[in-house]
A and B are shown apart, each in its own frame.
Chain A
Amino acid sequence: MSALILEARDLELRFGGVQAANGASLKVHANERIAIIGPNGAGKTTFINLCTGYLKPQAGRVFFGGSDITALSPRAITRLGVGRSFQIPQLFLENTVIENLLLALSARERTWSPFLRLDRHPKTEEMWALLDIVGLKDAGRRVVRELPEGMRKLIDIAVALALEPKLIFMDEPTSGVSSHEKFQVMDTLTRALDARATTAIFVEHDMDVVARYASRVAVWAGGRIAHEGTPDEILNHPEVRETVIGVGV
């Protein structure tokens, strides 16, 4: 298997009475497409928050590229090359789609000159190309606030991709998309990830999507990864079928 790029080791986090993470461990290798599945409220989003520095574990460590990032801020972790999209898209709603991407581009390139206009960024074309890949080129000049949830989810992912991360976490990338468009969306996303050799971890509730796009599946139950394997192994696992897929879909 290719190089280990992220490792979560025995993460623990309790919110009051809720044990959201209870010895959660996961190893991620370069170019994997890991799907995390599990019931609602199980702690999948919390796991992403722990890995990206938004939440700090009460025990356990997170390593990225061999170094310990447990204590780092989301900002520092992002700069190391970890991107993320959110379950509820986190965008600059009053700005246009292309401005959202250009701001990400400026962050990546550290182009903060007060004499440069954002809309005249020398690499603007690159962002239009990215929008084209995710099929949003026509919406580029629209204000995000006016756009439907499904599009916002894609923009949220595009913003993360604009940073050219080595690893991206996507929290339910297809949740705002109608079921007959899910494959299409995942096809475009997979193409974008492949083109950039970006490793991806995504939370997903749709087992058809999981079966088709994941290289590995991790089942989140009881605050940890309870089962791991290929989509075939996991989706046919009797216990997983009963506890996760039976109620989770």
Chain B
Amino acid sequence: MARQLIIGAGLLAALIIFPLLSPWSTVILTVALCEGLAALGILVLLRAGQVSFGHGLYFAFSAYVVAFMAAARFGHEVLILVPVATAASGLLAALVGLFVVRYRAIFFGMLNLAISMVFFSLLEKLFSITGGADGKRVPRPTLAGISLERAEFELWIFYITLGLAVLAALGVARYLLSPGGKALEAIKSNETRLEYLGVSSRKVLFGAYVLSGLLAGLGGAVIALVSGHVTPELAYWVRSGEFVFIAILGGVGGVVGPFLGALMFQIIRGYAAVYAPETWHAVLGVMLLVIIFFAPNGLYGLMTGRKPAGTGQ
């Protein structure tokens, strides 16, 4: 716990200073935070031993809610758009959750994938409403009633997102230590015993699922704001897979992990785009293999020196 705080504080300090030194990095870092938030949602589900290959759904849904509202000049304000879009994602997660929490393992993963792909197709095919594959533009909204220039807006959004990410990480860390968080882990370790304690594992997983949808939704809402444009790609399975990739890369041992993973992912993507534009997916693949074999607790695990859990099976 103490180590987690130190690593978290170090990362936070670096993130606070970096955009001031190199303004070009603001948007990239914001994107990393958004993906980190979605990966944090994946971490929550992984604690129950469940993997979702469809959380692009909540990321994209929230982003499109922002796009529609902003375009409709309805609540054309960051402080309205972000909470509303995040809540909408939470609501969608509750709806989908009612259904998917009945399933485990591969069925859980594939159902999430399937539902996200249905949404992806809708975004692509309902051209007149969603703009199809070209997506929708997101006009820059006001922030606390003030219209900002682009650079200023981006910097503000970055710091707001950073604050929200810190709150989210602390909140999730707290939840994971609570009885409900421990019950969530119990779904992974022994669901039979959990039921024989009189606890509904479905309810426990449902709560975690809604939380993960909210986290992905928050990330998606901010992505829409900083990129100024939304496309169906946000719901594509590759995107969902990236969230899982980021969570594993960063490590699921602590809530800082997904953010470390997201930063690393952006760095790899950035360099690969320059030096290996044709083979960057191969670079990612090799990276993942290295992590799985040599650092199964991810970057976070490397930093804290934690031994792989559950190898005594």
A24 smallest CB distance to B (angstroms): 21
Interface string of B166-197 (1 = CB under 8 A from A): 00000000110111111101100110110111
Known pairs A106-B179, A114-B175, A115-B178; A94 contacts B197 (CB<8 A): no
Closest approach, in angstroms, between the C-beta of A172 and any C-beta of chain B? 16
Q: Quick check: which of A13-21, A37-45, A97-105, A215-223 contacts chain B, the rest being far away?
A: A97-105
**What residues of chain B lie closer than 8 Å to A95, measured between beta carbons?**
182, 185, 189
Q: Classify the interface of chain B: helix, strand, loop or mixed.
A: helix
Number of interface residues of B (CB under 8 A): 24
Q: Decide if A166 is an interface residue (CB 8 Å cutoff).
A: no
Contacts of B312 in A (CB 8 A): 145
The answer to whether B177 and A118 touch across the interface, beta carbons within 8 angstroms, is yes
Pair B196/A114 contact, Cβ less than 8 Å: no
Interface size on A, residues (CB 8 A): 36
Chain A 75-88 per-residue mask, 1 if CB under 8 angstroms from chain B, else 0: 11011000110000
Q: Is the CB of A112 within 8 A of B179?
A: yes
Report yes or no: A94 in contact with B179, Cβ–Cβ below 8 A: no
Which of the residues B174, B186, B195 comes within 8 Å of A75, measured between beta carbons?
A: B195
Neighbour of B174 across the interface among A84, A90, A94, A115, CB < 8 A: A115
A76 vs B198: C-alpha distance when bound (angstroms): 6
Q: Which one, B174, B193, B199, B200, contacts A159 given CB within 8 A?
A: B193
How many Å lie between the Cα of A76 and that of B180 in the bound state?
19
A113 to B174, CA, bound (A): 10
Contact of B190 with A93 in the complex, beta carbons under 8 Å? yes
- B residues within 8 Å of A by Cβ? 174-175, 177-183, 185-186, 189-190, 192-193, 195-200, 309-310, 312
- Identify the 8 closest CB pairs spanning chains A and B, nearest first: A106-B179, A78-B198, A107-B197, A90-B193, A79-B198, A92-B189, A114-B175, A114-B178
Q: Mark A residues whose CB is within 8 Å of B.
A: 52, 73-76, 78-79, 83-84, 90-95, 99, 102-104, 106-108, 111-119, 121, 145, 159-160, 163
Q: A84-B196, A94-B310, A116-B178 are in contact. List 17 more A-B contacts (CB 8 A).
A: A73-B195, A78-B196, A78-B198, A83-B196, A92-B182, A92-B190, A94-B185, A94-B309, A99-B182, A103-B179, A103-B182, A106-B182, A107-B198, A108-B198, A113-B179, A118-B177, A163-B198
